[in-house]
Amino acid sequence: MINWANLISQMFNGLVLGALLALISSGLTIIYGTLGVLNLAHGAMFMLGGYAGYVAYTYTESFVVAVAAGSLFVMVAGVIMERVIVRHFYSRPDSDQLLVTFGISICFVELVRFCFGSLSLTVPPPKLFAGITSLGFMFYPTYRLAVVGIIAVALLVLFIVLYKTRLGMIVRAGIEDSVMVSSLGIDVYKVFMVVFGIGAMAAGFAGIVNAPVVSLTPDMGEAILVQTFVVVVIGGVGSFPGAIIGGLIAGEIISITSMINPGYAYVMLFAAMTLVLVLRPRGLLGSASRE
Amino acid sequence: MLKQRRFLIEALTAVGLILAPFILPHLGFAPNTVNRILVWGLFGIGFDILFGFTGLLSFGQSAFYGTGGFFAAYLLTRAGFPHVVTALFLGMIAAAVVGYLVGLIALRRTGIYFAMITVAIAEVFFFVEFNPLSEWTGGENGLPGVPTPHFDLGFASFHFTTGWSLYWFLAFCYFVGIVAALRIVRSPVGAVMRAIRENPLRAAALGHNIHAYKLTAFVIAAAYAGFAGGLLGVLQAFMPPDAFTFETSGQLVMMSAIGGVGTLFGPLLGAAVWLFLQDFLQSALGLGASWKLVLGVVFVLLVCFLRRGLIGGIQDLYALATGQRHKREAPEEGIETAADVAAAEAAAPLPAANESPDQPHKGTILQAKGLTKHYGGLAANSDIDFAVDHGELRGIIGPNGAGKTTFFKMLTCEVHPTSGSISFEGRDITGLEVTDVCQLGLTKSYQINQLFNRLTVRENLVIAALAELRGKYRLDLLRRIENIPGLTEQIEHTAQLVNLTRRLDTPVSELAYGEKRRLEIGLALATSPSLLLLDEPLAGMSPRERVETVRLLKAIGRGRTMIVIDHDMDAIFELAGKITVLQEGKVLVEGTPQEIKNNKLVQDAYLGGMHEP
């Protein structure tokens, strides 16, 4: 016997998680697509966004300021990380890039643990979206509905930046062939820095927007990172639409399976990834050239 | 580095393991710490074979560590299985089987995809252990009460309990593990693994089934992880569920990188440093939980500045101290004496694998019909008919963009034609993989060098020759490379043909450009092809190198069938018996050098139609 109200509420949860994953994965995938670096610190960026927002919130009690501070802080952290460390790794093997970003992620996590401790922290939702909303057949937390909207707007902004601006055109061209872009006289390294900043900001923004839904812990980024990987494998590396579709698929799989048996959520997610790998190894919307 | 005196490393390891209990306590190591280091070290041997030797960075080794550990622990605790060592082996086999299945999926992609997939898989295993299988694994409680090994030999009985007593058991396991691993990395399989790490595409093009070898490395790594996981349970008398966490995988990766990958001993050293630092920072400096922050910073610095880890750093220091670097013979800038070239010319042609010298084949060896390749709307090749006879030396020329390289790639099945067919020695090879075609005796040298850069000239040639001598896949893990019949002769003969005999033990990265070009040809030659394709063998050479290389090519061409692409007309006219001219993806004309020289169409193609009206 299926409990329809429960199913629909889980599907909403899936939508929230899916939207979140879509945004984080877009950040990861445009960084990888353009720079060729898989940022294993991306999950830590998500966590940093939440904590930076938390700090801003405790001082100002304004959620808007918290969101702005969280995303800007992570953007700056991303730019610094790219300038100081990652740029020296562009010509080194993939495995070195993975190792160094993995090391950086540990530094971020342990730094936050050092400053804030391991106990979980919470950020309340903004007053405008507090409480619950009646959808006629069930009640649902207002803020979660708002998250879907907020992230949809963020994705739209990202879409406009990527597809309607000169910078976006350069970034998309860089995903196709960054050598060619640099031979056209464009300073590819400056573009790399900007892309890294934008990608990190996407994760940081998601981190603070999600903060009222979950509680903050220093290692919250790890689980998100793993889910993000699955999303990228399903959607196809370097594909922005792929990240969105992959994110929504992953979010729904996790939520709906959790309703039946939470223990199998990852198994189902993994099964979906395996299916994609077997039937379409490059991902749903990935291009064949990128490996 | 691993090719020193026979058994030297094994003997040193044994001495080190025997002396450790007498030395390490004075350095502040508790017996339990040393035992944990050994378990990590053993876990890391497999990982190093996977990452350091095969070049596959997995962040999911915890899946196999946990699988092997829980399988053995379950047998010993819940199932009441009495023999500890047998249970450990069964755990190892379980991990290897799981590794095989996981490898089938994870190895569908390479590079960062592989890393991401392994992370995801490891996370799944963690959740499976916690939930669906918690009745068997104890969920978050783990499995307590894992017994320690006990041997009753009749005349004497040994019981390895805790501390230094258990150390001897673990040290023995580690020793066996390292001896086996040394055999593996020195075997032909080990050579192919290194080839995959250096240049997977060329390894495949030389006739090795790289997917099968990668899977082999993956299963070996899983087996080591499984055995080490079982030992973890024995060591702690309890199988902890956190063996399955991502943190375990990450810790293994970091330990290996700290110690130095590609050394087999890196993880052991890395674990020692890690556990020592943990103790030192936590207790002596009173940092408490924030010791990991220090570790993280140290790790990032290490990856930035000491990319080969501590062992690599020590090797560099040693080389610096002994001045070994400078003693190496300076490259001769590609200058060969006339005698060297003469020796190469004198070298008897090595018969190709499936061609007996007494009865040279007659007739067509390669035939292409209607070969066409479209890239989107661009037709690189259209409707090419092409045939080469046994013993022929064919030249292919054509202006840039004529589709010469695409044509070669189709012949060797690196790319598949849009339409048309290719037959080689009477057999249809259209649609085969490049590896299989190389095994049939058709291979090519590349326009842009595709070498195994960190290996020596000899190792490069060995990799090529192994494909021919062993087929595309064989699991001779414990065989010594030196014991393969015919290998040494083939390497030396090939080296002589391409005039690299004196450079056999030089790393490729130290070769002069002309020498690399010759090695590029040598790699293709060492597979003993019955048809050899050379894609611009003279590209980028100085006029003098060209003259010498043409002489070498002549020597190589004796008794062999070759097709040569080059822009150097004089060289082609000198070498080839017959020439095919390609233009705009089509065959323009075919004929003897003399006919081609005087052909109006060819002159037009090259001179852009500047003839009188």
Of B55, B127, B293, the CB nearest to A114: B293
User: For residue A69, what pLDDT band results from cuts at 50, 70 and 90?
Assistant: very high
CA–CA separation, B338 vs B346, rounded Å? Answer: 12
Average pLDDT over residues B338-348: 58
What pLDDT is recorded for position A1? 57
Mark whether B250 and B289 lie in a shared domain. Answer: yes
Q: pLDDT of B428-472, one tens digit each?
A: 998 889 999 899 999 989 988 899 999 999 999 999 999 888 888
Of A32, A100, A109, the CB nearest to B300: A100
Contacts of B88 (CB under 8 A, 6+ apart): B72, B227, B230, B231, B234
Contacts of B413 (CB under 8 A, 6+ apart): B422, B429, B430, B431, B432, B433, B434, B436, B437
Mark whether B468 and B563 lie in a shared domain. Answer: no
Mark whether B16 and B146 lie in a shared domain. Answer: yes
- SS3 at position B414: coil
Give contacts of B121 with chain A, Cβ < 8 Å. 270
CA–CA separation, A9 vs A283, rounded Å? Answer: 29
Distance (Å) of CA B448 to CA A97, B509, B513, B537:
26, 15, 11, 9
Domain count, chain B: 3
Q: Measured between CA atoms, how close is B293 to chain A, in angstroms?
A: 5
* Inter-chain CB proximity B105 and A263 less than 8 Å: no
- Angle, helices A265-279 vs A220-235, to 10°: value is 30
* Inter-chain CB proximity A98 and B57 less than 8 Å: yes
CA–CA separation, A217 vs A41, rounded Å? Answer: 16
Q: Which amino acid is at B109?
A: R
Q: Of A86-95, B248-257, B325-334, B594-603, where does mean pLDDT reach its minimum?
A: B325-334
CA–CA separation, B590 vs B392, rounded Å? Answer: 14
User: For residue A91, what pLDDT band results from cuts at 50, 70 and 90?
Assistant: confident
Mark whether B165 and B62 lie in a shared domain. Answer: yes
* Inter-chain CB proximity A38 and B115 less than 8 Å: yes
Angular region, B488: left φ>0, alpha ψ -120 to 50, beta rest: alpha
* Inter-chain CB proximity B130 and A263 less than 8 Å: yes
Mark whether B65 and B192 lie in a shared domain. Answer: yes
CA–CA separation, B359 vs B382, rounded Å? Answer: 36
Residues spanned by the domain of B456: 442-528
Mark whether B151 and B277 lie in a shared domain. Answer: yes
Average pLDDT over residues A209-230: 90
Average pLDDT over residues A200-225: 92
CA–CA separation, B456 vs B468, rounded Å? Answer: 19
ipTM value, please give it: 0.89
Q: pLDDT of B481-536, one tens digit each?
A: 888 888 888 899 899 888 888 888 999 989 888 889 899 999 998 988 889 999 98
For a pLDDT cut of 90, what percent of chain B falls above it? 36
Flag whether A252 is in a domain. Answer: no
Q: Which residue of A has its CA nearest to B250?
A: A102
Q: Which residue of B has its CA nearest to A227?
A: B120
Convert B495-518 to b/e letters by CB count within 10 Å (16 or more is b).
bbbbbbbebeebbbeebeebbbbb
User: For residue B340, what pLDDT band results from cuts at 50, 70 and 90?
Assistant: low
Of B117, B124, B250, the CB nearest to A267: B124
User: For residue B426, what pLDDT band results from cuts at 50, 70 and 90?
Assistant: confident
Flag whether A244 is in a domain. Answer: no
Q: Measured between CA atoms, how close is B48 to chain A, in angstroms?
A: 13
Chain B interface residues (partner A, CB cutoff 8 A): 51, 55, 57, 59, 105, 108-113, 115-117, 119-121, 123-124, 127-128, 130-132, 246, 250, 253-254, 257, 289-290, 292-293, 295-297, 299-300, 303-304, 307
What pLDDT is recorded for position A162? 84
Flag whether A200 is in a domain. Answer: yes
* Inter-chain CB proximity A96 and B303 less than 8 Å: yes
* Inter-chain CB proximity A95 and B300 less than 8 Å: no
CA–CA separation, B452 vs A66, rounded Å? Answer: 52
> Three-state secondary structure along B292-303?
HHHHHHHHHHHH
* Inter-chain CB proximity A107 and B297 less than 8 Å: yes
Give contacts of B129 with chain A, Cβ < 8 Å. none
Domain count, chain A: 1
Say if residue A53's pLDDT is above 80: yes
Average pLDDT over residues A148-170: 89
Residue B138: phi and psi, rounded to 5, are 80, 10
Count of alpha carbons within 13 angstroms of residue B553, beta-carbon side: 32
Mark whether B158 and B219 lie in a shared domain. Answer: yes
Flag whether B327 is in a domain. Answer: no
User: Other C-beta atoms within 10 Å of B485: how many?
Assistant: 7
The alpha-helical segments, DSSP class H, found in B187-327 are 188-198, 200-205, 210-236, 246-259, 266-279, 291-305, 309-322, 324-327
Give contacts of A273 with chain B, Cβ < 8 Å. 117, 120
Q: Of A180-189, A271-280, B86-95, B579-588, where does mean pLDDT reach its minimum?
A: A180-189
User: For residue B342, what pLDDT band results from cuts at 50, 70 and 90?
Assistant: low
Mark whether B175 and B228 lie in a shared domain. Answer: yes
Pick the more confident residue, B65 or B594.
B65
> Three-state secondary structure along B497-540?
HCCCHHHCCCEHHHCCHHHHHHHHHHHHHHCCCCEEEEECCCCC
Give contacts of B139 with chain A, Cβ < 8 Å. none
What pLDDT is recorded for position A21? 94
Question: Which of B30, B8, B34, B7 is closest to B171 using CA atoms?
Answer: B34
Flag whether A281 is in a domain. Answer: no
B150-152 and B157-159 strand pairing: antiparallel
Say if residue A22's pLDDT is above 90: yes
Pick the more confident residue, B49 or A142.
B49
Flag whether A54 is in a domain. Answer: yes
For a pLDDT cut of 70, what percent of chain B falls above it? 92
Mark whether B200 and B59 lie in a shared domain. Answer: yes
- SS3 at position B394: strand
Asked if B178 and B185 touch (Cβ cutoff 8 Å), the reply is no
Joined tokens for residue A155: 């994705």
What pLDDT is recorded for position A266? 83
Say if residue B136's pLDDT is above 90: no
Mark whether B105 and B20 lie in a shared domain. Answer: yes
* Inter-chain CB proximity A96 and B121 less than 8 Å: no
* Inter-chain CB proximity A230 and B290 less than 8 Å: no
Q: pLDDT of B258-303, one tens digit each?
A: 999 999 999 999 999 999 888 888 887 777 778 889 889 999 999 9
Say if residue B380's pLDDT is above 50: yes
Beta-bridge partners for B374: B379
CA–CA separation, B449 vs B70, rounded Å? Answer: 48
What CATH number did the domain enclosing B520 receive? 3.40.50.300
Interface contacts A/B by beta carbons within 8 Å:
123
- SS3 at position B579: strand
What does pLDDT average to over chain B?
A: 86
Asked if B575 and B554 touch (Cβ cutoff 8 Å), the reply is yes
Mark whether B177 and B247 lie in a shared domain. Answer: yes
Of B124, B289, B300, the CB nearest to A104: B300
Flag whether A25 is in a domain. Answer: yes
Question: Which of A89, A83, A84 is closest to A36 using CA atoms?
Answer: A89
Say if residue A115's pLDDT is above 60: yes
Which of A29, A107, A114, A231 best probes binding to B when mutated, by most B CB atoms within 10 angstroms? A107
- From B502, B528, B554, the end of a domain falls on B528
Cα of first residue to Cα of last residue in chain B, in angstroms, is 68
Q: Measured between CA atoms, how close is B387 to chain A, in angstroms?
A: 32
Flag whether B487 is in a domain. Answer: yes
Q: pLDDT of B154-182, one tens digit each?
A: 777 777 887 888 999 999 999 999 999 99
Average pLDDT over residues A194-209: 94
Say if residue B354's pLDDT is above 50: no
Give contacts of B113 with chain A, Cβ < 8 Å. 233, 237, 291
Flag whether A101 is in a domain. Answer: yes
User: Between the ranges B79-93, B148-162, B344-358, B477-491, where is the mean pLDDT highest?
Assistant: B79-93
* Inter-chain CB proximity A104 and B109 less than 8 Å: no
* Inter-chain CB proximity A107 and B300 less than 8 Å: yes
User: Between the ranges A265-279, B155-169, B175-189, B535-549, where is the mean pLDDT highest?
Assistant: B175-189
CA–CA separation, B119 vs B133, rounded Å? Answer: 20
Q: pLDDT of A220-229, one tens digit each?
A: 998 899 999 9
Give contacts of B128 with chain A, Cβ < 8 Å. 263, 266-267
Of A118, A232, A267, the CB nearest to B128: A267
Is the torsion defined by CA of B500, B502, B508, B513 positive or negative? negative
B586-591 and B578-583 strand pairing: antiparallel
Asked if A228 and A24 touch (Cβ cutoff 8 Å), the reply is yes
Taking 3-state DSSP, the helix, strand and coil percentages for chain A, each rounded to the nearest 5, stand at 75, 5, 20
CA–CA separation, B202 vs B523, rounded Å? Answer: 10
Say if residue A6's pLDDT is above 90: no
Of A85, A102, A274, the CB nearest to B250: A102
Residues spanned by the domain of A178: 12-218
- From B488, B505, B528, the end of a domain falls on B528
* Inter-chain CB proximity A264 and B132 less than 8 Å: yes
Distance (Å) of CA B98 to CA A157, B36, B122:
44, 24, 12
User: Other C-beta atoms within 10 Å of B464: how many?
Assistant: 29
Cα of first residue to Cα of last residue in chain A, in angstroms, is 45
* Inter-chain CB proximity B120 and A229 less than 8 Å: yes
User: Other C-beta atoms within 10 Å of A164: how many?
Assistant: 10
Flag whether B294 is in a domain. Answer: yes
Flag whether B341 is in a domain. Answer: no
> Three-state secondary structure along B328-386?
CCCCCCCCCCHHHHHHHHHCCCCCCCCCCCCCCCCCEEEEEEEEEEEECCEEEEEEEEE
Flag whether B153 is in a domain. Answer: yes
Asked if A43 and A225 touch (Cβ cutoff 8 Å), the reply is yes
CA B359-B365-B367 angle, 5° bins: 165
- From B321, B338, B371, the end of a domain falls on B321
What pLDDT is recorded for position B178? 95
Say if residue B368's pLDDT is above 50: yes
Give contacts of B292 with chain A, Cβ < 8 Å. 106, 110, 113
Asked if A97 and A81 touch (Cβ cutoff 8 Å), the reply is no
User: Between the ranges A9-23, B104-118, B587-601, where is the mean pLDDT highest?
Assistant: A9-23
Which of B304, B306, B308, B375 best probes binding to A when mutated, by most A CB atoms within 10 angstroms? B304
Flag whether A44 is in a domain. Answer: yes
* Inter-chain CB proximity B112 and A99 less than 8 Å: no
Asked if A273 and A283 touch (Cβ cutoff 8 Å), the reply is no
Mark whether B145 and B250 lie in a shared domain. Answer: yes
CA–CA separation, A113 vs A133, rounded Å? Answer: 35
User: Between the ranges B57-61, B237-241, B487-491, where is the mean pLDDT highest?
Assistant: B57-61
Say if residue B349's pLDDT is above 60: no
